[in-house]
Amino acid sequence: MDLNLREIRPYGDSLSDGAMQLSFTLPLPTGPLAKEAALRLARKMGFAEADVVHMADLGEGFSFFVVYGKTRLFIDATDITVTAVKTDVWDRATCDEKIRELFGRKLKIVGACIGEDAHTVGIDAIMNMKGYAGHYGLERFAMIDAFNLGAQVEPETLLARAREKDVDAILVSQVVTQRDAHLQNLTRFVELTEAAGLRDRFVLVAGGPRLDHKLALELGFDAGFGRGTFAEHVASFVIHHLVQKRSMGSEG
Ligand code: B12
């Protein structure tokens, strides 16, 4: 395949043809006028060969559209640097095997969604036995003791439980980002941990739909995970990080 990484365009029918699918809603009743408005909008956005392939009545004067079109824009993929978790991702059985072999004991992990944030589904997806989208959670790992404290947990309570249980890693979930609540809560947690002189004792992992590794590092965590994360991503990172800490002589 002759691919020019300096000019990456979307792929539709043929390589680099720029074909894209766009979906949106307009506050117009379904009909020829709404369809023409959708087409004009797509053309105004710079799409060539724009075509409304789906129009649906949403009721009360609203219409939903799917439009195909071609963009001439491209991205230079050689000019992009990203901050992402770089460790290998092992499946559950391999994680258990590695823990047995590298630590000779179970790892302990505590997690919670902190502050006023009541969204439990994300932290449950990572920690609970049944997991998420066919990927079992940390409770299912034979070599991990997982303690899920749920949602609306005060940062102080999470840190206290982490000390009590003498855990290896702390998982913090934040879903609500209104008025930057996630930034405040995550910062507060790191500050509490530092003030207690415990920052080096735990692997700190943050997660949520609007979090990424770069932001988590900036906030003082060791890693950050966003949408589409499974328990094995987190377990693999924790194992790698503990091994790295040990080799730097800062563990135990
Ligand atoms: C379900 C839901 C609720 C339920 C929560 C029930 C529960 N027990 O969790 C209820 C109805 C209670 C609720 C309430 C509210 N909600 Co709500 N809710 C949602 C909804 C529809 C789905 C969230 C969800 O479950 N996603 C599925 C999980 C699996 O995805 P996830 O959280 O992203 O988790 C994954 C990753 O992010 C990551 N992850 C998450 N946490 C962690 C942690 C770690 C350590 C790691 C490694 C990874 C990780 O791994 C997970 C699996 O891959 C979203 C909209 C949406 N479609 O996302 C709105 C949404 C999150 N809610 C929203 C809002 C505004 C609210 C309310 C403020 C509404 C209100 N006015 O009352 C309240 C807030 C209550 C509170 N105090 O927090 C907004 C947030 C907007 C923002 N920018 O902050 C959203 C985005 C809806 C919207 N579009 O406006 N909500």
**Burial level of 171, CB count in 10 A (0-12/13-18/19+)?**
buried
Closest ligand 1 atom to residue 172 Cα is: 45
d(CA 177, ligand 1 centre) in Å: 10
Closest ligand 1 atom to residue 177 Cα is: 84
- C-beta of 173 in contact with ligand 1 (< 6 A): yes
Q: Ligand 1: which of 89, 119, 186 to mutate, most ligand atoms within 8 Å of CB?
A: 119
CA-proximal residue: ligand 1, atom 6 (nearest): 119
The domains of the chain, with CATH numbers, are: 1-80 (3.30.30.60), 92-247 (3.40.50.280)
CA dihedral 192, 193, 195, 196 (to 10 degrees): 120
d(CA 187, ligand 1 centre) in Å: 20
Q: Where residue 249 falls among pLDDT bands split at 50, 70, 90? A: confident
Identify whether 130 is a catalytic site residue. yes
Stated pTM of the model: 0.90
**Burial level of 245, CB count in 10 A (0-12/13-18/19+)?**
middle
**Residue of 130, 165, 214, 245 marked catalytic:** 130
Q: Ligand 1: which of 158, 175, 219 to mutate, most ligand atoms within 8 Å of CB?
A: 175
- pLDDT digits 0-9 by tens, 163-217: 999 999 999 999 999 999 999 999 999 999 999 999 999 999 999 999 999 999 9
Give the span between the Cα atoms of 29 and 189, in whole angstroms: 49
The answer to whether 233 touches 169, Cβ cutoff 8 Å, is no
Give the span between the Cα atoms of 19 and 162, in whole angstroms: 50
The answer to whether 225 touches 128, Cβ cutoff 8 Å, is no
The answer to whether 205 touches 146, Cβ cutoff 8 Å, is no
Q: Is residue 251 predicted with pLDDT exceeding 50?
A: no
Q: Is residue 1 predicted with pLDDT exceeding 80?
A: no
Q: Which helix (H) or strand (E) holds 213?
A: helix 213-218
Helix %, strand %, coil % of the chain (to 5): 35, 25, 40
Beta partners for residue 101, in sequence order: none
Q: Where residue 79 falls among pLDDT bands split at 50, 70, 90? A: very high
- C-beta of 209 in contact with ligand 1 (< 6 A): yes
d(CA 176, ligand 1 centre) in Å: 6
pLDDT for 252: 44
- C-beta of 176 in contact with ligand 1 (< 6 A): yes
pLDDT for 250: 52
pLDDT for 88: 94
- pLDDT digits 0-9 by tens, 210-236: 999 999 999 999 999 999 999 999 999
- C-beta of 225 in contact with ligand 1 (< 6 A): yes
- pLDDT digits 0-9 by tens, 21-75: 999 999 999 999 999 999 999 999 999 999 999 999 999 999 999 999 999 999 9
d(CA 22, ligand 1 centre) in Å: 25
d(CA 124, ligand 1 centre) in Å: 12
pLDDT for 70: 98
Q: Which residues of 188-214 are buried (b: 16+ CB within 10 A; e: fewer)?
A: ebbebbeeeeeeebbbbbbbbbebbbe
**Count of residues for the chain?**
252
Beta partners for residue 171, in sequence order: 111, 205
